[in-house]
A and B are shown apart, each in its own frame.
Chain A
Amino acid sequence: MNPKASHLLDKYGIYLALVILVAFSAVMSPTFLNPENLRNIVNQQAVIGLVAIGMTLVVVTGGIDLSVGSTVVLSATMGLYAMNAQLAKGASEPVAVLVALGTGAVVGALCGWTMGVLVARAKLAPFIATLCGLVAFRSFALTPAKAGEVRSSSLDIYPGIGQGGLPWPLVGNGQPMVTWNILVLIVAAVLGWLILERTTLGRNMVAVGGNETAARLAGVRTERVKTVAYVLTGLLCGIGGFLQAARMNSVSTAQVGTLYELDAIAAVAIGGASLSGGVGSVTRTVVGVLVLSVIQNMLVTLEVSQYLHGAVKGAIILFAVLLQRGRNSE
């Protein structure tokens, strides 16, 4: 392959992969391009999207965060408990819902901060430090709930956040096209892109992930940069947990967030980030999330046997990653 073409493929291969998948699904299923279906594809993966945006930042700094799923469930659970406590005290619903969001965000950011400190200051291998978070954080959610479900006592606003959205455009049946989940995902993607591409912090993240020693010698406060990446990831997990719990109006402490770390890492990898650090893009990660989501939707729509889902998913992820490796495969 000539170098120019392989460079283009390297940069835009992921978009090509998404287009191929969408075209294939549209041909195979008449309902695929239905606006409601397109809405569902994004909406269903919005929380994974938020987590994956954070994961991109962490991966760019040369780290990895396996604790994200457990952070999602812990912050969602604590948020729900805080909200229910407010409602029980007679607080109004909007106040209680804000408390849920605030608690979730703070708990999430604290989880991320813990991971960041273990990685950046205590110099633990990110895989090991965040593995501890993965197994530990969920326990703190399982214990008070006895591994069962925590239900919200909010009747209107909280579940409304999980279902509602912008009043226009609609997908028919009076349902919003841009749900709050999707809106938050878009905002987070824009902010994530800005941070990584347009700020000193973002440039420092890339520098730390590319060559930590060089970055330190150049005056970058590497420990702080790394910690911030984990804190932002935790914060996004906290917001994601809030949205997830609102959609279900409950948290199933044993189920919510399980294997989110793998979906998020898969999305980051599909998006062409280097798991050894220094390379990564928020926009391409979001496309990676969409690729995963389209695959999932296609498997269900085409009635592919549940047993085969894993194999098809694995093969397509592999294909998407290889497609971008035109240059490296020579």
Chain B
Amino acid sequence: MNLRSLSTSLLVLTALWSVSGCGTSSGTGSAGGSASTTPGKKIKIGVSVPSADHGWTAGVGYWAEKAMAMYPDVEWVYKTADKPETQIADIETMMTGELDGLVVLATESAPLTPVAKAAHERGIYIVNVDRGFLEPVADVFIEGDNEAFGRKSAEFVVQKLGGKGKILVLEGIPSTVNTDRVNGANKVFQANPGVTVLESQSGMWNRQKALEVTQAMLLKHPQVDAIWASDDDMALGAEQALKEAGRQNVWILGGAGMKDIVKRVMDKDPVFPANITYPPSMIATGIHLAVSNLRDGKKDDIKQFMPRHMKLDVELITPDNAKDFYFPDSVY
């Protein structure tokens, strides 16, 4: 899914450790680094993420657990929350213990900002992933580039259509992430008048909802060339709608690199000619950074050069490069 972002973080990590005079190999991913921590003092890091309400968030959980398992010498507190209220309570409970670091993928940005600020004021090191806080309270903020997600995927659609065709658009849950993606794509579609967006509706990043919405849209539009589904759960719903309507020769561009879709891109399935990454493993990048910045007790030194905002590029997955993004063991 995101070998690149993982390797980027590994690079950053290696650089950090050599700068801080602690040349432990970061490549092994084992607990071997425990020699460099202060004996008797385990660092404690809280990880708070949304519960797995769709494939992507399930991927977040998978990668979070995988990253935490790499560091058994850290004391982890891991919580998933289905809504902001639960997440705030989770973080408040975490803070009652001696917490050194906090990695947060917010269910929603605004309601989580005050509790993150409180944590920040207590001197807890905060890594914020994907959905940003409204105030600069995070020590590091890692997010995917959603505007590029929309732009690059739309560019592929235009190119594959040869600049001429009729498409349906499936939007996600109303949110800044969705807005950035859809706006990014619409800019490209508007710049190519040969491509007509017949209709744009929300499938709520949900397979069944996308199925129902696509069925209704297909009935209104006898001629459809492609569906810009913006998410792989929705792409599978759209595919089911095509099957149930008996429609052939319509292809779909999903997004976020679900392993089944990536496999089908790799196998040159005509329904899925490409995909675009939006790696849920960015949570692992965040966890990895939190550990590496905290474990040597030099976070204040590291802060001097650590970028506060990292925007991960997204990449188009085509049959040529699909094997680099295919993780058969991942849940997503």
Chain A interface (Cβ within 8 Å of chain B)?
29, 31, 34, 36-37, 40, 43-44, 142, 146-149, 151, 163, 172-175, 247-248, 252, 254-256, 296-297, 300-301, 303, 306-307
A306 to B204, Cβ gap below 8 A? yes
Minimum CB–CB distance from B224 to chain A (whole Å) comes to: 13
Question: Would A247 and B62 be within 8 Å (CB), given that A300-B213, A301-B220, A306-B204 are in contact?
Answer: no
Min CB–CB distance A161 → chain B (angstroms): 13
Residues of A within 8 A of B174 (CB): 306-307
Q: Does the CB pair B55–A149 fall under 8 Å? A: yes
B262 CB to closest chain A CB (Å) equals 15
Q: Which of B68-76, B237-245, B302-310 contacts A (4 or more CB under 8 A)?
A: B237-245
**Bound CA–CA A163/B240 (angstroms):** 9
- Chain A residues whose CB sits within 8 angstroms of the CB of B269 once the complex forms: none
Stretch at the interface among B46-54, B101-109, B129-137, B183-191: B46-54
Chain B contacts for A147, CB-based, 8 A: 51-52, 58, 61, 80
Q: Which 5 A-B pairs have the closest CB atoms?
A: A173-B246, A147-B52, A148-B58, A300-B216, A306-B202
Interface residues of B (CB under 8 A from A): 51-55, 58, 61-62, 80, 174, 199, 201-202, 204, 206-208, 211-213, 215-217, 219-220, 233, 236, 240, 243-247, 260, 331-332
Q: When chains A and B are docked, how far (Å) is the Cα of A297 from the Cα of B217?
A: 10
- In the bound assembly, the distance between CA atoms of A301 and B332 in angstroms comes to 32
With contact pairs A34-B219, A306-B174 given, residues A148 and B331 touching in the complex (Cβ less than 8 Å): yes
Q: What 6 additional pairs, Cβ within 8 angstroms, besides A173-B247, A175-B246, A300-B216? A: A31-B219, A40-B216, A148-B52, A148-B332, A175-B245, A248-B207
The answer to whether B216 touches A37 (Cβ under 8 A) is yes
Is the Cβ of A149 less than 8 Å from the Cβ of B58?
A: yes
B236 to chain A: closest residue by CB: A248
Q: Can you list 16 residue pairs at the A/B interface with Cβ under 8 Å?
A: A29-B220, A34-B219, A146-B62, A147-B52, A147-B61, A148-B332, A149-B55, A173-B247, A175-B246, A252-B54, A252-B55, A252-B233, A255-B207, A256-B208, A306-B201, A307-B174
The answer to whether B245 and A254 have CB atoms under 8 Å apart is no
Contact of A296 among B212, B217, B220 (CB under 8 A): B212
Q: Which residues of B contact A31 (CB under 8 A)?
A: 219-220
- Distance in angstroms from B211 CB to nearest chain A CB is 8
Kindly list chain A residues whose C-beta atoms are within 8 Å of the C-beta of B216.
37, 40, 297, 300-301
> B207 touches which one: A44, A148, A163, A252 (CB < 8 A)?
A252
A175 and B248 alpha carbons, distance in the complex (Å):
12
Considering the complex, give the chain B residue whose CB is closest to the CB of A172.
B246
Note all chain B residues with C-beta closer than 8 A to A303.
199, 201
**Interchain CB contact (< 8 A) of B243 among A37, A44, A163:** A163
The answer to whether A300 touches B246 (Cβ under 8 A) is no
The reply to whether A255 and B220 contact each other, CB–CB distance below 8 Å, is no
When A248-B208, A307-B174 are in contact, do A254 and B54 touch as well, CB less than 8 Å?
yes
A44 / chain B contacts, CB cutoff of 8 Å: 211-212, 215
Interchain CB contact under 8 A, B246 and A254: no
In-complex Cβ contact of A255 among B61, B80, B208, B260 (8 A): B208
Chain B residues with CB under 8 Å of A148's CB are 52, 55, 58, 61-62, 331-332
User: For residue B61, which residues in chain A have a CB less than 8 angstroms away from its CB?
Assistant: 146-148
How many Å lie between the Cα of A300 and that of B217 in the bound state?
Answer: 8
A174, B199: Cα distance in complex, Å? 25
CB contacts (< 8 Å) of A256 on chain B: these are 208
Nearest-CB distance from B232 to chain A (Å)?
11
A174 to B246, CA, bound (A): 7
Q: How near does chain B come to A25, taking the closest CB pair, in angstroms?
A: 11
Contacts of A43 in B (CB 8 A): 244
The answer to whether B332 touches A248, judged by C-beta atoms less than 8 angstroms apart, is: no
B212's nearest neighbour on chain A, judged by CB, is A44
Smallest distance from the beta carbon of B304 to chain A beta carbons, Å?
A: 39
CB within 8 Å for A36 and B219 given contacts A146-B61, A172-B246, A174-B246: yes
The minimal Cβ–Cβ distance linking A302 to chain B, given in whole angstroms, is: 10
Q: Which residue of B lies closest to A170 (CB)?
A: B246
Query: How far apart are A151's CB and chain B's nearest CB, in angstroms?
Result: 8
Given A31-B220, A306-B202, is A254 in contact with B53 using a C-beta cutoff of 8 Å?
yes
**Partner among B53, B208, B244, B260 whose Cβ is within 8 Å of the Cβ of A163:** B244
Chain B residues, CB < 8 A from A300: 201, 212-213, 216-217
Q: How far is the CB of B260 from chain A (nearest CB, A)?
A: 8
- Given A37-B216, A149-B331, A175-B244, are A254 and B51 also a contact pair (CB < 8 Å)? yes
Contact A173 B58 (CB under 8 A): no
- List chain B residues, Cβ under 8 A from A149: 55, 58, 331
Give the residue of B58, B236, B244 whose beta carbon is less than 8 angstroms from that of A146. Answer: B58
Least CB distance, B171 to chain A, in whole angstroms: 8
Q: Which residues of A contact B58 (CB under 8 A)?
A: 146-149, 254
